[in-house]
Amino acid sequence: MLRKMTKWSWLAVIALLLVFFGVAAARQQNTGGGNAAKESGKQEKKSKKNSSGETAGQKNMDQYKADPSQYVGSDTCKTCHEEQGKSFDRGPHWKTTLAGHQGPEWQGCEACHGPGKEHAESADPAKIIRFGPLSREESSKRCLTCHEFGEEHSNFLRSQHLKNNVGCVDCHSVHTPKVGRQLLKVAQPQLCYGCHQEVKPDFSKPFHHKVNEGLLACSNCHNPHGGFQTRQLRATAAQDMVCFNCHTDKAGPFAFEHGPVKTEGCIACHQPHGSSNPRQLRRANVNLLCLECHTFTVDSAAPAIPSFHNQAQKYQACTMCHVAIHGSNSDHFFFKP
Ligand code: HEC
Ligand code: HEC
Ligand code: HEC
Ligand code: HEC
Ligand code: HEC
Ligand code: HEC
Ligand code: HEC
Ligand code: HEC
Ligand code: HEC
Ligand code: HEC
């Protein structure tokens, strides 16, 4: 068959090959000329680590695609920016300089501020990435290049915070943090109260989670970096309500579950932040709380109270008899645990 090929078909094959190599060469140029081959090797390694393939953060980094000759290294920056050099050495990010196997775009000052050669030569602030002029989304994406891996931060781009234009730099400061660990601008809970005035009074109510006292932090229950639950709530490892992380005795499973504990969750009866009522209950009188569901009228899943519960004094204190209100392993009516 080969021998049968005419001169013209050979020419056609050669033409096709030329087109193919032409395209390949053009692609190389797009990915950054001379370094393309080396770079694409590196890219492959990175994307293996990050099984979701190319990510928004990485795309963002590509904008400042690494040409090693455009980087000068942190020591050069420090000669003119002594203060930031010191805060960098004190903080956690000095560790990026240990990543010798990665390119300069992953190390030191320039991992965040981008390639600095032109700036270092000219001292022109317009020739370096400054965080002030960036949008919250842009600056957050720069941080996420390294921090988006793992559960804690992987939902940030979808979080209520970023959607409302609150980015990493609103809560964290790389160079002038008030809380060195975690690089927070302000310690919790003041950091959060700064924007969430509306929840502050809850934590001064007579019965409250001791957040102001430092026993718990807002971030024990909420993930400020977002997640899959409503209200940016955290969850247990099994994706159950965050409350079970600490109140494990309420988790069960019980032989006799009290329906709403599992269906509606703890906040069907409790106010999570604080309340004027003992046990952070939603209602001052327990009987009124119970009767919201256990009524004679509504056709709810909750059985109505028996008629002998005449609401005379004796029957008002429901949990005096129904003590195991979160569920029981021995009694259908929750009379004992
Ligand atoms: C030769 C001295 C010199 C070197 C080297 C140098 N800078 Fe600068 N840099 C300056 C000067 C001068 C300014 C403008 C004055 C200012 O705002 O502090 C500046 C401004 C900046 C700004 C903006 C500051 C602001 O207020 O917004 C950043 C960020 C910055 N430099 C980072 C770096 C980084 C990162 C490096 C290393 C890659 C570096 N610089 C190397 C002199 C230098
Ligand atoms: C982890 C990312 C990160 C690294 C690493 C980093 N910076 Fe910054 N830099 C920032 C952010 C964010 C700001 C904005 C102010 C802030 O958050 O503290 C900033 C601000 C600055 C400024 C403006 C002045 C200021 O304090 O606001 C200078 C200058 C600067 N950085 C220089 C450096 C130098 C020099 C290094 C390395 C020794 C460095 N940065 C390392 C993120 C970083
Ligand atoms: C080049 C990769 C890289 C970039 C970009 C980066 N970080 Fe980091 N960050 C690190 C590493 C590495 C650590 C240290 C982790 C450790 O100690 O285990 C760290 C630690 C932190 C910590 C934790 C401090 C602690 O004590 O636990 C915070 C907060 C943080 N970074 C915020 C930021 C913010 C905000 C930005 C963007 C302005 C940013 N990072 C950009 C690599 C990066
Ligand atoms: C609304 C405020 C807020 C925003 C926005 C925010 N953080 Fe945080 N971040 C916190 C708080 C509070 C903690 C401490 C959490 C804790 O103690 O569990 C924290 C902790 C961290 C830590 C340390 C986590 C650890 O494992 O100990 C890193 C790293 C970090 N943040 C990076 C980022 C990055 C990157 C962004 C932007 C993509 C960001 N944060 C945006 C408030 C915020
Ligand atoms: C810079 C301002 C700012 C800071 C600081 C801040 N937040 Fe927010 N937060 C917002 C905005 C804006 C929203 C979205 C609008 C809203 O629901 O209030 C939001 C939303 C939330 C939500 C979701 C509310 C809902 O209705 O779904 C929670 C929970 C939350 N923040 C908790 C925190 C916690 C915990 C901290 C401290 C670690 C914190 N925030 C720090 C501005 C901030
Ligand atoms: C014990 C766990 C817990 C702690 C601690 C906690 N929260 Fe909440 N928070 C919740 C739950 C649960 C909800 C959802 C309430 C609902 O959906 O009715 C919530 C709701 C919110 C909301 C949404 C608006 C609202 O009032 O329903 C904001 C904002 C918020 N919390 C901020 C904070 C801040 C700020 C702190 C720290 C000062 C904090 N939370 C501490 C559990 C907690
Ligand atoms: C990080 C751990 C933690 C989480 C998460 C948590 N709690 Fe608590 N809770 C505590 C601690 C500790 C106390 C006891 C505080 C004290 O002594 O005042 C407490 C007390 C309570 C009380 C009052 C108990 C009493 O005897 O008065 C109720 C009710 C309560 N929590 C409900 C909840 C609910 C509902 C949730 C989920 C929204 C939740 N908790 C999440 C730690 C937690
Ligand atoms: C059907 C309403 C209801 C639901 C749902 C509910 N609780 Fe309660 N809880 C109560 C009542 C009523 C009390 C007070 C019992 C008493 O006074 O003896 C109480 C007391 C508590 C107490 C303090 C006394 C104790 O037993 O430790 C804690 C802590 C608590 N609840 C946590 C939770 C948690 C966590 C959840 C979610 C898993 C939850 N509750 C769901 C009604 C409820
Ligand atoms: C949010 C609604 C709700 C509230 C509030 C509530 N319950 Fe229930 N309760 C139910 C539902 C639904 C069932 C039925 C669960 C099932 O069959 O799985 C139930 C079952 C019961 C049972 C077992 C009855 C039976 O025949 O299975 C008792 C006893 C009970 N509740 C007592 C109380 C008491 C006491 C309170 C107040 C502390 C209370 N409940 C608050 C919804 C509620
Ligand atoms: C003095 C003890 C006592 C008090 C207080 C009490 N109960 Fe009961 N409750 C009982 C007994 C006894 C039963 C019947 C158990 C049976 O049928 O064997 C019962 C049954 C129930 C049932 C199951 C009804 C059914 O048909 O399955 C519900 C629901 C209930 N009570 C709710 C409440 C509520 C709500 C309160 C507070 C308003 C309350 N109980 C107060 C003793 C009490």
Between CA 23 and CA 130, with CA 49 as vertex, the angle to 5 degrees is 80
Q: Is residue 126 part of a domain?
A: yes
Q: Render pLDDT for 52-105 as a digit per residue (tens, 0 to 9).
A: 334 444 444 455 557 889 999 999 999 999 999 999 999 999 999 988 788 899
Q: What is the pLDDT of residue 269?
A: 97
Q: Find the domain containing 119 and state its range.
A: 56-130
pLDDT at residue 243, as a whole number: 96
| Per-residue pLDDT tens digits for 110-119 | 999 999 999 9
Tokens read off for 167: 């980015």
Out of 130, 146, 179, pick the residue that ends a domain. 130
Phi, psi of 88 (to 5 degrees): -65, -45
Domain end, chosen from 105, 130, 155, is at 130
Q: How far is the CA of 92 from the centre of ligand 3 (A)?
A: 6
Calculate how far, in angstroms, residue 326's C-alpha sits from the geometric centre of ligand 8.
6
Q: Does the Cβ of 290 fall within 6 Å of ligand 1?
A: no
Distance 38 CA to ligand 6 centre (A): 49
Report whether 225 contacts 157 (CB < 8 A).
no
Supply the pLDDT for residue 201. Answer: 97
Is residue 294 within 6 Å of ligand 10 at its C-beta?
yes
- Among all bound ligands, the one having the nearest atom to the CA of 88 is 2
Residue 296 lies in a domain: yes
- As for how many domains the chain has, the answer is 2
Nearest to 192 by CA among 224, 162, 216: 224
Residue 21's pLDDT is what? 47
The answer to whether residue 280 is domain-embedded is yes
Verdict on whether the full-model pTM lies above 0.75:
yes
3-state DSSP call for residue 189? Answer: coil
Residue that terminates a domain, selected from 130, 156, 185: 130
319 within some domain: yes
Query: Does the residue 94 lie in any domain?
Result: yes
Chunked mean pLDDT (size 10), the chain, 337 residues: 49 48 41 35 36 41 69 96 96 90 90 96 96 96 93 94 97 95 96 98 98 97 94 90 95 94 94 97 94 79 85 84 96 96
In a domain? residue 324: yes
Q: Residue 196: inside a domain, yes or no?
A: no
What is the distance in A from the centroid of ligand 2 to the CA of 28?
33
Distance from Cα 232 to the centre of ligand 8, integer Å: 23
Mutate to test the pocket of ligand 6, among 204, 222, 275, 280 (most ligand atoms within 8 A of CB): 222
Residue 225 in domain: no
CA-derived radius of gyration, the chain: 30
